[in-house]
Amino acid sequence: MRRQFVRLFLGFVLVVAVVVGIQTTVFLVTIHHQRLNWTESVFQDYLSALSKNLTAGLEGRSYSLISLEEVLLRSADDRVSGLYIRNPDGTVAIAYGMTSAGASLPVPPSDEFEGMRPMMSSPAMQRAHQQISEQGFSASEMHSSVYEVHIEKDSDTSSLSVNQQSASQTHTILLPPQVKATDIAGSLVISYNDEVIALVDVLTFTPFTYKNTGYLFKGLLFPILWAMPIAFVIALMMAASISKRSERYTQGIQKALEQLSSGENGVELPKTKIDEQRVINDSIKMLDENLAQHKRSRQAWLRSISHDLNTPVASMKLLLDGIADGVFPANEKTLMSLKKENDALSARISQVVLYSNLQSPDMKVTREEIAIPSFIQQVFSSLTKEEQDRIYLDAEDAALQGDQNLLSYASRAMLSNALQSSEGSVGWSIGKNTMTFTNKGTIAEDIDFFEPWSKGDSSRGTSGSGLGLPITAQIMRLHQGNAEISQREGEVVVSLKW
């Protein structure tokens, strides 16, 4: 049972692993989508604030890269981690804040005009001072949305428009190794009177940057992690419990089958509440009943064979002893009586041998079209003229296929039984692989006519060996058919179908 325990345990573990894996995947995918939604929300809020601030001072402001810094910083809230402000050619001019992970934003070394740039900052972001060479910046393809902010101004009117670039357009930007393209929440292309004056990359913090939010996500993840060892322990206990119960059940079934194989009946089966095991118990109970029935049948067969074969043997012995003692003359009449008993003994032995051969698993039948006239002639050849006259034959729709010799034997047996059990006419109807035999009479109750040597009531089988219907039933079984006997309005009906 160790193998069964291992199989059960591994099965439970596999189920647990699949469930936990699905939960973990769903959790990670959900977190990823939440992070993307968060980033998009922060960028849209920043874009909205920037548009509002630009519109507020649109009339009296001149626009340049330096003049835009103050508006860009003022539009950021505490969720924006940093800004990369670029020249129109894409090179980094200045950076504010930090990466989403809290690292400093690198910038190229200051050029000769850097001293002319005013020092600006906001409460949320400080100017980045970490410098790396321009070779430290590598080209990366933009993955986030890009918006175009157009400022149109002349002596009379001024306007501001914000449009998102089509998704098909791609941009390449220069980024330091500390920043990935996916860290950029969104980018802005700011133009003044159709002249690009600045490119802005917006970086945001993630939900995990904030302690309370991080604790919340960790609190959701920890139950999944803790569930794995607990589930493994439960799987171990369940596998041990089920395998133990299964072992007890298997041992009980094994003991019951050993008793059946040794010839015992009425075996005790282990109790179970599992439907599949109940089916096994029911099958073994049926097997037990069938074996008991077969045992009773074998005993009845032995008694019947002994009695049935002993009758002609006793008669022959009586006649031989009578001849030897001079009681019966050794004339033709006595010899004919002796021959009659010998023929009866031979016929009954032949029937026993035939029945035994028909039950053999090696017994096969040939299925071929049967010529109805020759078939009827073969059946009638064993009957007397008087018996033939008593048979009402209906073969108008006859069409038979099978073993002609065996089907002829079955037909003769059924007609012989019907003729012996009734003084009136006997019906024989032949159809398409069907035959029906009828005679006046009544069927006795609680008798299995297809068991050997079972003789029915006063109407069917008062004489004979009791093997007619059993042999016929075996012939039908070999033809993948069946034999049925029934009572119908004062008539006994035997139906053969294959």
Residue range 100-133, pLDDT digits in tens: 888 888 988 865 445 445 556 666 688 888 888 8
The last residue of one of the domains, among 358, 389, 411, is 358
Q: Is the pLDDT of residue 333 over 90?
A: no
> Is there a single domain that holds both residue 383 and residue 465?
yes
Distance CA 338, CA 126 (A): 133
In a domain, 351, yes or no: yes
Angle value at C-alpha 175, between 169 and 180, nearest 5 degrees: 80
Distance CA 115, CA 124 (A): 23
Cα dihedral 5, 8, 10, 13 sign = negative
Q: Is the pLDDT of residue 187 over 90?
A: yes
| H or E segment to which residue 436 belongs | strand 434-440
pLDDT at site 457: 43
Q: What is the pLDDT of residues 451-468, one digit of tens each?
A: 665 554 443 444 455 678
Tokens of 31: 């977190």
Compute the mean pLDDT over every residue in the chain, rounded to the nearest whole number: 83
In a domain, 79, yes or no: no
Residue 244, C-beta contacts closer than 8 angstroms, at least 6 positions apart: 1
- Provide the residue range defining the domain that includes 333: 275-358
Q: What is the pLDDT of residues 195-229, one digit of tens each?
A: 999 999 999 988 777 766 666 666 777 777 777 78
The H-assigned helical ranges of 120-187 are none
pLDDT at site 132: 87
Max mean pLDDT range (158-167, 279-288, 309-318): 279-288
> Is there a single domain that holds both residue 433 and residue 388?
yes
> Is there a single domain that holds both residue 331 and residue 372?
no
pLDDT at site 190: 92
Higher pLDDT, 374 or 20: 374
Count the residues in the chain. Answer: 498
> Is there a single domain that holds both residue 331 and residue 375?
no
Cα dihedral 362, 366, 372, 375 sign = negative
Could you tell me which residues are beta bridge partners of residue 172? 141
Angle value at C-alpha 464, between 462 and 469, nearest 5 degrees: 95
pLDDT at site 113: 45
Of 7-16, 136-145, 360-369, 394-403, give the lowest mean pLDDT range: 7-16
Angle value at C-alpha 123, between 121 and 128, nearest 5 degrees: 40
- Domain CATH number, residue 306: 1.10.287
pLDDT at site 433: 94
> Is there a single domain that holds both residue 378 and residue 462?
yes
In a domain, 353, yes or no: yes
Per the structure, the count of domains in the chain is 2
- Taking the chain, what is the end-to-end CA distance rounded to the nearest angstrom? 48
In a domain, 295, yes or no: yes
Q: What is the pLDDT of residues 336-379, one digit of tens each?
A: 888 888 888 887 788 888 888 888 888 888 889 999 999 999 99
> Is there a single domain that holds both residue 387 and residue 491?
yes
Q: Is the pLDDT of residue 59 over 70?
A: no
* Contact indicator for 158, 137 with CB cutoff of 8 Å: no
pLDDT at site 456: 47
Distance CA 266, CA 303 (A): 24
Indicate the pLDDT class of residue 434, thresholds 50, 70 and 90.
very high
| H or E segment to which residue 407 belongs | helix 404-421
Beta carbons within 10 angstroms of residue 119's beta carbon: 5
Residue position matching structure tokens 């109790």? 271
pTM: 0.47
> Is there a single domain that holds both residue 492 and residue 398?
yes
Beta carbons within 10 angstroms of residue 479's beta carbon: 20
The last residue of one of the domains, among 316, 336, 358, is 358
At 459, phi and psi to the nearest 5?
-95, -35
In a domain, 39, yes or no: no
pLDDT at site 368: 92
